[in-house]
Amino acid sequence: MKTWLPICTGLLAAWLAHASPSGWEPLPDTPPVPADNPMTAEKIELGKQLFFDPRFSSTGTVSCNTCHNLMLGGDDARPTSMGVHGLTGPRNAPTVWNSAFHPSQFWDGRADHLEAQAQGPVVAAVEMGMSDLEMAILRVRAIPGYRDAFARVFGGEQPVTVANAAKAVAAFERTLVTPGSAYDRWAAGDKQALTPKQRRGLDTFDRLGCTGCHQPPAFSGPHKPKGHFAVFPFHDGAYVDRFQLRADVGRQAVTGRESDRHKYKIPTLRNIALTAPYFHNGQVATLDEAVRVMAAAQLNIALSDDETSDVVAFLEALTGEFPAMTLPRLPPTLGRSLPVN
C-alpha cells in the first residue's frame, strides 16, 4: 500500500495548488539562505572562482561548470556526465540553476543542502576524481590568491578548509536564479505573458495533476510535507524497457529501504527546454518524448499530440532570464603548476 502514498500526496497537493489561485506563484528573486552561511559579495565571488576552477580535479580538466555549464542550461547536454579521463557516471547532470530552491540535492536526495552537495563531485571517481577532499584543499591552499580570499571571507587561523570552500560555492550557487520567465510574468499578473497555446498547456499540466509533484514556484518537489521524492516510473509500459527506466534503484541505494526503490527527488522543470536529454539516465532525447513518458509512466495516460505539444509550449514558458555574469579570473599559481594526472 505504501507505493500509493506518493501519488495520493501528489493528488492532494495538486488539489491544494489548484484550489488556490495563489498556488501559481512566480519565482522569488532570491532563495532561502541558511543562517550559518550568510551571503556576502566577496564570498560569492570566491565561490564563483572555485565553481569555475578545473584545477581541483585529478586531471586539472573538470570543474563544477564542466557538468553544470552556466553558459548552457546549467547542465552538460549529455545523457550522463563525463568526468576525468573520459569516465562516465550513471546519471544525467541536474541543472544548477535554481538548485537553491530544492529541498535536497542529487537525483537521490542524498545531500540535504548545497553545502553538502558541493563536496560530492570532487571525490567521485568518475567526476573530478580526487582521492580525498583534503587533497583538493591542499591544491586550493597552494594558490596565494585563494589563501588571501579565504582569509578575507572567513578569517581565523586556517580558513582554507573543505567546509569553507563548500560554503563559498553554495553561496555562489544561491545567486543562480532565473526569474522572469513568461510563466513568472503571467503569475505576477501579466495575463498576456503566456500565449494561448502555453496557457492551454498550463491547464493540461494542472488538470493532469503534474503540479502534484512539480509544484510552483520552482516546479520541483513540495517542501512541506517532505514529499519531494517520487517513484519513477510508477506504471509499467513500453517506455520502461525502451529507456531502461528501472535500471537504477534510485534512492534505495542511499537509504537501503525497499520503499525507496526507484524513488528520485522531483527535479525542477524550470529551464527544462534547455536541459535535454532527460530523466535520471538521460535516455530520452527530446522534451516532447519526455512529456509522453511522464504521462505514461506516472499517470498511465497516453497524451494526444495536441496535449503533448501544449504542455511542451507551457514548459518552454518556464525558461527564465539568466543573470549577466562576468567571467572570473582564477588566481594563478605563479611560475609553477599543480601536479595533475
Question: Is 127 designated active site?
Answer: yes
Question: How many CB atoms are located within 10 Å of the residue 159 CB?
Answer: 18
| Contact status, residue 179 vs residue 29, Cβ threshold 8 Å | yes
**For its own copies, what does the binding mask look like between residues 318 and 337, x meaning CB under 8 A?**
----x-xxxxxxx-xxxxxx
By CB under 8 A, name the one of 20, 286, 300, 304 that touches its own copies. Answer: 286
Interface mask toward its own copies for 294-323; x: CB under 8 A: ------------------x---x-----x-
Considering only residues 24 through 53, tell me which ones interact with its own copies, judged by CB under 8 A: 52-53
Q: Is residue 54 near its own copies by the rule CB under 8 A? A: yes
- Residue 85 lies near its own copies (rule: CB under 8 A): yes
Looking at 25, 42, 115, 127, which residue is catalytic? 127
Q: Cα angle at 77 between 133 and 319, to 5 degrees?
A: 105
Least distance CB 294 / its own copies (angstroms): 14
Span near its own copies by CB under 8 A; candidates 74-82, 96-104, 105-113, 223-231: 74-82
109 Rama sector, left if φ>0, alpha if ψ -120 to 50, beta otherwise:
left
Count of CB atoms situated within 10 Å of the CB of 116: 15
Query: What b/e sequence results for 274-306 when a residue is b if at least 16 CB atoms lie within 10 Å of its CB, and e otherwise?
Result: bbbbbbbbbbbeebbbbbbbbbbbbbeeebeee
Binding-site member from 285, 300, 302, 306 for its own copies (CB under 8 A): 285
Binders of its own copies: how many residues, by CB under 8 A? 48
Write the CA distances from 78 to 87, 95, 117, 208, 276, integer angstroms. 13, 12, 20, 29, 8
Residues interacting with its own copies, by CB under 8 A? Answer: 52-55, 59-61, 66, 69-73, 76-79, 82, 84-87, 273-274, 276-277, 285-288, 312, 316, 322, 324-330, 332-338, 340
